[in-house]
Amino acid sequence: MPPSKNNRTISQEAFEGLVKENIEDLDMDPNEALEDAIQTLTLQGVDLSGIVTCIPGVTSLKDNPVIQTLDLLTQVASRLVRLSDDQKANVIDTDVDLDEIIGLLDKLYDLCSVEGSGYSSIAARNGGLELVTSICYALSIGYQQERPLVSALKTISSLLIDVQSTEAFRQGGGPKIVTDILNRYSQDINVLDSGFAVVAAAATGNEVVKELFVELKVDELLIRIMKGQSKGKSQSLYEALRVLLTPDDNRVLASQVYGYARRFAQIGIAEALVDALCEGISSPSLVSASIAMKAIAVNEEICRSIAECGGIDALLQCIDDSGEQNNKGVARASCSLLCKLAGSDANKNAIIQKGGLDKLIKLASRFSEDPSVLQEIMSIICTLSLRSPENAARAIEAGAGDFAIQAMQQFPAASQMQKQSCLMIRNLVVRNPENRTILLSNGIEKIIRKAKENHGSCKDAATAALRDLGLDDYNS
């Protein structure tokens, strides 16, 4: 469940008191009293996520399956060994039934995975995150078995649903617990996958948690795993890397993630990601690795280093393969990353010299029915043509003009693609008068004006394109 936009909250006791008041003081039917309480509080802007909507005297908090499962887990947790850092990890309680723990954790995970149920919020609000994190810690040091640990980590990730829960995780020492587990089980792909899913969920939208993971040297852990026996096997590893390098916490004015990206690149993570790309389209982690590499490529130096270790060659091969195998996901991710790398002037030339334009136009013909892929291709050609009349001329020779006209005519309702096409056209013509003549003779003016008229988001880009096409009435 996504975080609520409401800022006001209410306790479980206060909610039940309001329902009881409706029944006793206003003589409402119990169901009517419950519905009235929900409607009244919602209209007042109260956040009801995590509230068990029960009727006092008819149903209770204890009837909720999440609360029941948490109660049982609490009983089990009380029997788990509690070890401090200086105690022996082989001191365990032999009476603990690990199968019982796995069953309860899996049940809680399944409940919290029910879309729209609100069960994740209920569990988090009633101490579920702290409870499962403590169980995870005890399991990791006292019961060195994969299955219960994986169940605990999966359940933690399902409870990290908003800033409140990620803050609770941070305050409970969650980042260190999970990092220690990942270091201890760095050869176990199932633990790695579930553990990095926790890292990704905990760091989403929380700058402080990102910082904690970096302080715990998660970058060194990542590079060790990416170069070890488990390389390429954990998709959640790449997702964790992407989240750690994404400035998504709107509470801070200046994110530190760009510094983290440079730090990660310095120890060789960019090169390790290129290795993942070189595994090709058959790799299940290819899209995730591409998205993670885009987060790493934050400056000219890193973009060049990626190209120098074979990143552009690998991407162009992925683009070819995605077209041949009709893999839209790989096509979009590869094009998006190539566009980021093309921000480097040296990389622009490399992409052109390696036949990148022809490969892109060929890909456009393969995915001529998918505007989302066409939009990504337009973004690359736009970037390649920026401040480069030579590249703009080559793009027209490769067929970029015809591609733009056909796509805009075929998908008049695809506003983002229409906008990107206008931006591409502008770069193709702004320094190339000969390109203006070619495009205008093929009817591009009418198509751009139609996009400008139909889509408010296209107005500025279309106006700029019309102006740089040399038209006097570009503002009309």
Domains of the chain, residue spans? 1-63, 268-343, 355-476
In the prediction, which pLDDT does 60 show? 63
Query: What is the C-alpha to C-alpha distance for residues 102 and 115, in angstroms, rounded to an integer?
Result: 22
Query: What is the C-alpha to C-alpha distance for residues 357 and 396, in angstroms, rounded to an integer?
Result: 10
Tell me the per-residue pLDDT of 378-423, one tens digit each, with 9 for 90 and over: 999 999 999 999 999 999 999 999 999 999 999 999 999 999 999 9
In the prediction, which pLDDT does 93 show? 53
Structure-block tokens of residue 416: 């983002």
Please indicate whether residue 14 or residue 356 has the higher confidence score (pLDDT). 356
Judge whether 392 and 435 are in contact, CB under 8 Å.
yes
Structure-block tokens of residue 397: 């020779």
Can you spell out the DSSP letters for 28-97? --HHHHHHHHHHHHHHTTEE-TT-----TTTS-GGGSHHHHHHHHHHHHHTTS----TTS-TT---TT--
Report the pLDDT averaged over residues 3-22. 74
Judge whether 288 and 244 are in contact, CB under 8 Å.
no
Tell me the per-residue pLDDT of 166-191, one tens digit each, with 9 for 90 and over: 999 999 999 999 999 999 999 999 99
Report the pLDDT averaged over residues 119-146. 89
Structure-block tokens of residue 49: 């996520």
Tell me the per-residue pLDDT of 55-98, one tens digit each, with 9 for 90 and over: 776 666 778 899 999 999 998 888 775 443 444 444 445 567 88
Kindly report the pTM of this predicted structure.
0.86
% of the chain beyond a pLDDT of 90: 73
Query: What is the C-alpha to C-alpha distance for residues 270 and 296, in angstroms, rounded to an integer?
Result: 7
In the prediction, which pLDDT does 24 show? 79
Average pLDDT along the chain: 91
Query: What is the C-alpha to C-alpha distance for residues 15 and 27, in angstroms, rounded to an integer?
Result: 17
Q: What is each CA distance from 384 to 243, 256, 358, 417, in whole angstroms?
A: 28, 29, 13, 17
Structure-block tokens of residue 227: 């170069």
